[in-house]
């Protein structure tokens, strides 16, 4: 009797378990892209992220690209800010302890980002993926 109950329970639950499998969820996933993820720590990094993200919002066709800003703090030496697009580092700069031209650095970074996005799109059209490495 117990095995009959277990067998019926399995027969009833199996279709529901199959519906809840991760492979069925993969078809319904929503992908979010075009984001600027700010992982900075200091005022210099936050200001850089503010200027950079304001330029990023003005760029058309940023779907499929996510930008991440990382900051490494070195006591009494300043910070190193690194910018990655889809995991590829394309820009790195050093901010000292004193005031630095943050807006100009953000402008330089957005220009390098535009160049990188154009290169990735051109390589996708031509089928040449040799130029999309980390040696940018």
- Tens-digit pLDDT profile for residues 123-136: 888 887 665 554 44
Q: What is the pLDDT of residue 29?
A: 75
The confidence band for 30, taking pLDDT boundaries of 50, 70 and 90, is confident
Phi, psi dihedral angles at 34 (to 5 degrees): 80, 25
pLDDT over 60 (residue 22): no
Instruction: Please write the tens of the pLDDT for every residue from 49-102.
Output: 999 999 988 888 888 889 999 999 988 888 999 999 998 999 999 888 777 789
Count Cα atoms within 13 angstroms, Cβ side, for 28. Answer: 7
The confidence band for 17, taking pLDDT boundaries of 50, 70 and 90, is very low
Q: What is the pLDDT of residue 60?
A: 84
pLDDT over 50 (residue 19): no
pLDDT over 70 (residue 36): yes
Say how far apart CA 71 and CA 79 lie, in whole Å: 7
Contacts of 125 (CB under 8 A, 6+ apart): none
């Amino acid at each position: 009797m117990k095995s009959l109950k277990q067998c019926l329970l399995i027969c009833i639950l199996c279709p529901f378990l199959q519906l809840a499998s991760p492979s069925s969820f993969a078809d319904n996933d929503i992908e979010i892209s075009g984001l600027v993820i700010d992982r900075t720590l200091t005022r210099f990094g936050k200001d850089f992220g503010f200027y950079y993200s304001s330029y990023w919002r003005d760029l058309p066709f940023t779907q499929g690209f996510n930008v991440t800003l990382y900051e490494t703090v070195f006591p009494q030496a300043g910070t190193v800010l690194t910018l990655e697009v889809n995991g590829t580092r394309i820009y790195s700069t050093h901010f000292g302890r004193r005031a630095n031209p943050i807006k100009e650095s953000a402008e330089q970074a957005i220009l390098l980002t535009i160049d990188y996005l154009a290169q990735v799109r051109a390589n996708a059209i031509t089928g040449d993926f040799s130029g999309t490495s980390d040696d940018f």
